Amino acid sequence: MKIAQIAPLYEAVPPRLYGGTERVVAHLANALVDLGHEVTLFASADTSTRAELAPMRAQALRLDPAPLKSDLASHLHMLGELRQRAHEFDVLHFHVDLLHFPFFEDMAQRTITTLHGRLDIADLPVVYRRWNRYPLVSISRHQRKPLPLANWLATVPHGLDASTYRFEPRSGDYLAFLGRISPEKRPDRAIEIARRAGLPLKIAAKIDAADATYFEQVIQPLLRDNPWVEFVGEIGDAEKSAFLGGARALLFPIDWPEPFGLVMIEAMACGTPVIGWRCGSVPEVIDDGTSGLIVEDMDQAVAAVHAVNQLDRRLVREAFESRFSARAMAGAYVAQYRRLTGQEDRSSNSSATAPEVALCSEFA
């Protein structure tokens, strides 16, 4: 098939440092090429891909040193270019949330829109009712809960190229936190868990401008008071295998309805189990007792730190390979592409079968 993948322009594909959506798009595009499809990737020019690249901006927005730049203008330019070339493709696969909705209504039935973010936002329901012809893909079943009547086509979990992550059969004796410093990610919880468990903690995280005050007022004092906590800063793919693979466990103590949580499967790819709060998509991603331990409060989290060494790291890696490989993700999307274009294999069923899970609750 001839497939257009439309990525956000905030990060390179894959990102040089932190970034979820663009990383998933990178692995999906490459896997689709490996499956024999003709893939054109609309992304920034500093992208690395096996697909044909349609460069839409000289450099991804976040790391562009230009003091003045417009994310809206750059994305509208990309959609305009895509509109002119839309006839070249069987399927247009969007990863830019809902920005394209007003522009591709006449061809909505040969598009797929994967929603990568949270959907419990006040203004979204009216938009998804207004533009209800667009087939949507969720990345977890939990993500759908705020918009149950949207035009859902399938649930396709994220996947990653296993060769990007090195399996580590033996862990070190520290805990890891990877992602973004923000109140909903709860790095403060991670610090407290490590303190109570008596283990060092390494934090590799991005600090957005919106979270700078939170970092300065809440997290920095904890770093000063706890010398066994090491703040590494942002890391890229080249450092992740060593960082995650060397950890006893990844701490994922979130306090928000996480749509997926890519870092969980990155850890699993390295053989590192995840200790995650029963919140958002966590119960859909972690096989409790196999690829990690699901907890509901701080006491359970501390106990999990001491119990997690009983998990077989090879089974953690196998759980990743069986459920979250890039090839599995690409195959699931191809089934949906064929469904939209009338080429559906009636024997295939790519939708995730994970059960519905409860909405996130507040924990002490």
Residue 285 contacts residue 262 (beta carbons within 8 Å): no
Q: How confident is the model at residue 85 (pLDDT cuts 50, 70, 90)?
A: very high
Q: What is the CATH number of the domain that holds 101?
A: 3.40.50.2000
> Residue 356 above 90 pLDDT?
no
Q: Is the pLDDT reported for residue 47 higher than 90?
A: yes
Identify whether the C-beta of residue 131 lies closer than 8 Å to the C-beta of residue 101.
yes
User: Does 105 lie in the same domain as 197?
Assistant: no
* Helices and strands: H and E segment counts in the chain: 12, 13
Mean pLDDT of the chain: 92
In a domain, 362, yes or no: no
Q: Give the ranges where the chain is alpha helix by DSSP (H).
A: 21-34, 71-85, 124-130, 187-197, 212-214, 220-225, 237-245, 262-269, 282-285, 298-307, 313-323, 326-340
> pLDDT confidence of 236, banded at 50, 70, 90?
confident
Residue 63 confidence (pLDDT) above 90: no
Of 272, 296, 299, nearest in space to 283 by CA:
296
10 and 113, same domain (yes or no): yes
State how many domains the chain has.
2
| Residue 133 reports pLDDT greater than 50 | yes
pLDDT of residue 343: 78
Q: Which residues form the domain of 74? A: 2-161+325-340
Share of the chain above pLDDT 70, in %: 94
Mean pLDDT check: name the lowest of 12-21, 35-44, 135-144, 208-217.
12-21
Q: What is the model's pLDDT at position 359? A: 41
Same domain, 155 and 205: no
Please give the pLDDT value at position 345: 53
What are the φ/ψ torsions at residue 301 (nearest 5 degrees)?
-65, -45
Are 79 and 198 found together in one domain?
A: no
**CB neighbours (10 Å) of residue 320?**
24
For residues 135 and 218, membership in a common domain is answered with: no
* Contact of 54 with 42, CB cutoff 8 Å: yes
The percentage of residues in the chain with a pLDDT greater than 90, rounded to a whole number, is: 86
Using CB atoms within 10 A of its CB, is residue 303 exposed (0-12), middle (13-18) or buried (19+)? Answer: middle
> What confidence tier does 18 reach under pLDDT thresholds 50, 70, 90?
confident
Same domain for 243 and 151: no
Residue-level pLDDT at 344: 67
Question: In whole angstroms, what separates CA 278 from the centre of its chain?
Answer: 18
Q: How confident is the model at residue 351 (pLDDT cuts 50, 70, 90)?
A: very low
Q: Single out the residue of 151, 148, 149 nearest to residue 132, CA to CA.
A: 151
Q: Are residues 185 and 313 in the same domain?
A: yes
Query: Is 188 among the domain residues?
Result: yes
Q: Which amino acid is at 212?
A: A
Q: Are residues 48 and 171 in the same domain?
A: no
- CB-CB neighbours of 19 under 10 Å: 23
For residues 287 and 319, is the Cβ–Cβ distance under 8 A?
Answer: yes
Q: Does residue 126 share a domain with residue 224?
A: no
